[in-house]
């Protein structure tokens, strides 16, 4: 369970990133955050694992405050939160397997990981994670030999190998073409359902949001302006969140499954 309590974020230049956010996300939910760019979607997501610091308030994960956590305690909490990025954030020059294994750094002492002494079990977990996203056969390829969609699957596998309880995905499909977009979203959805991992995704395609989410959160200028189940998120609601009519490029449109 993730709880936001009166969270506020002000950037050094005075811009308000998040404004009095109160929010509770339950285990197993598939939450999609929508809003214009600059509305604070990314800030909200990154404040959960403290890649961004908040200015006021508190964020609790399973009852423990990550806002107050420090050093090893913070790293221990981050270990349970996987993250998927728009640009994949893989090390392109090393193998897929090494990238996935790097998700397990939080489980071992720094010294052990620096020496590359991964337990056999970890390699198995990593390969298992790759199987789950259907790219097991690419384990020993260099990451930059893979297509964009495949790279994003590797980063999903990294979050799986991490055995995370929560997955945060920051615009995971913004750099992908429509077909691979659906494949990646399908992977996320399947993992959410099969493993019960709480998933929070930032998206700017509204039809995808409706199709995959169980709950939608709308942000506008740092404020929470909508929070409800998918069924309630009508076109009018989206117009409200965006402060204008929905444009065509905010819809992915129909793509035939290959």
Partner 1 sequence: MSQTQQAAAPKKMGRMIKTALWLIFFAALYIWSFTGLEVEWKKIMESLKIVNKMLAGIFTPEWGFIWEDEGVLDNMLVTLEIALLGTTIAAILAVPFGFLAANNMSKRYPILPFVEARFPVISWIGKRILNVIRTMPELIVAIIFIVGVGPTAFAGVLAIGLHSIGLIGKLYSEAIENMDEGPMEAITACGGSRLQVLWFAVVPQVLPEFFSFALYKFEINVRAASILGMVGAGGIGTPLLFALKGHDWHRVGAILLVVIIVVFLIDMLSGAIRKRLV
Partner 2 sequence: MAAETKQIKTPSKLRFTIIFLVMAVLYVFSWRGVEADIGSLIEGWPYIRDLITGMWPPNWKYFERILDPMLETLRIAIIATTFGAILSIPFTLLASRNVFPNTWVTNSARSFLNFVRTIPDLLLAGIFVALLGIGPVAGVAAMTVFTFGIITKLAYESVETIDPGPLESMTAVGANKWQFIAFAVVPQALPAFVAYVLYAFEICVRAAAILGLVGAGGIGIMLSETLETFQYQKMATIVLFTLVIVIVIDSISSRIREKLL
Which residue's CB is nearer to partner 1, number 81 or number 125? 81
Based on the shown chain and the rule CB under 8 A, indicate whether residue 41 belongs to the binding site for partner 1: no
Residue 120's binding partner, choosing from partner 2, partner 1, none, with beta-carbon cut-off 5 to 8 A by kind?
partner 2
> What is the rounded distance in angstroms from the CA atom of residue 164 to the CA atom of residue 156?
11
Residues in contact with 48: Cβ distance below 8 Å, sequence separation at least 6, in sequence order: 2, 59, 61, 66, 81, 166, 168, 200
Residues 137-196 close enough to bind partner 1 by CB under 8 A? 155, 158, 162, 168
Residue 181's binding partner, choosing from partner 1, partner 2, none, with beta-carbon cut-off 5 to 8 A by kind?
none
CA 13-9-249 angle, to 5 degrees, is 85
Residues present in the chain in total: 258
Supply the Cα-derived Rg of the chain in whole angstroms. 18
Question: Residue 97 — left, alpha, or beta (φ > 0 → left; ψ -120 to 50 → alpha)?
Answer: alpha
Instruction: State the binding string over 90-129 for partner 2 (x if CB under 8 A, else -).
Output: ------------------------------x--xx--x--
Out of 92, 124, 137, 229, the only residue in the binding site for partner 1 (CB under 8 A) is: 92
Which residue's CB is nearer to partner 2, number 86 or number 131? 131
Q: How far is the CB of 139 from partner 2 (least distance, A)?
A: 8
Q: Which residues of 72-92 are buried (b: 16+ CB within 10 A; e: fewer)?
A: eeeeebbbebbbbbbebebee
Binding positions for partner 2, rule: CB under 8 A: 120, 123-124, 127, 139-140
Positions touching partner 1 (CB under 8 A) are 12, 49, 51, 75-83, 85, 87-94, 98, 102-106, 110, 113-114, 155, 158, 162, 168
């Amino acid at each position: 369970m993730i709880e936001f309590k009166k969270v506020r974020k002000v950037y050094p230049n005075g811009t308000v990133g998040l404004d009095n956010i109160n929010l509770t996300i339950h285990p197993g939910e598939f939450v999609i955050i929508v809003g214009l760019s600059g509305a604070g979607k990314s800030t909200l997501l990154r404040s959960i694992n403290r890649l961004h610091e908040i200015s006021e308030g508190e964020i609790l994960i399973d009852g423990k405050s990550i806002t107050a956590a420090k050093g090893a305690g913070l790293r221990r909490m981050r270990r349970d939160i996987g993250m998927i990025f728009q640009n994949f954030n893989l090390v392109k020059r090393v193998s897929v397997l090494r990238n996935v294994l790097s998700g397990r750094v939080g489980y071992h002492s720094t010294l052990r990981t620096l020496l590359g002494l991964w337990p056999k079990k970890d390699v198995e977990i990593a390969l298992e994670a790759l199987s789950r996203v259907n790219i097991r056969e690419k384990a020993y390829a260099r990451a930059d030999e893979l297509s964009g969609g495949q790279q994003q699957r590797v980063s999903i596998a990294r979050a799986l190998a991490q055995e995370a309880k929560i997955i945060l995905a920051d615009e995971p499909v913004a750099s992908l073409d429509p077909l691979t977009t659906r494949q990646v979203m399908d992977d996320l959805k399947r993992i959410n359902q099969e493993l019960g991992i709480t998933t929070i995704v930032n998206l700017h395609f509204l039809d995808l949001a409706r199709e995959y989410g169980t709950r939608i959160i709308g942000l506008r200028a740092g404020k929470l302006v909508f929070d409800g189940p998918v069924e309630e998120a009508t076109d009018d609601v989206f117009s409200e969140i965006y402060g204008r009519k929905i444009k065509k490029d905010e819809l992915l449109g129909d793509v035939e499954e290959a």
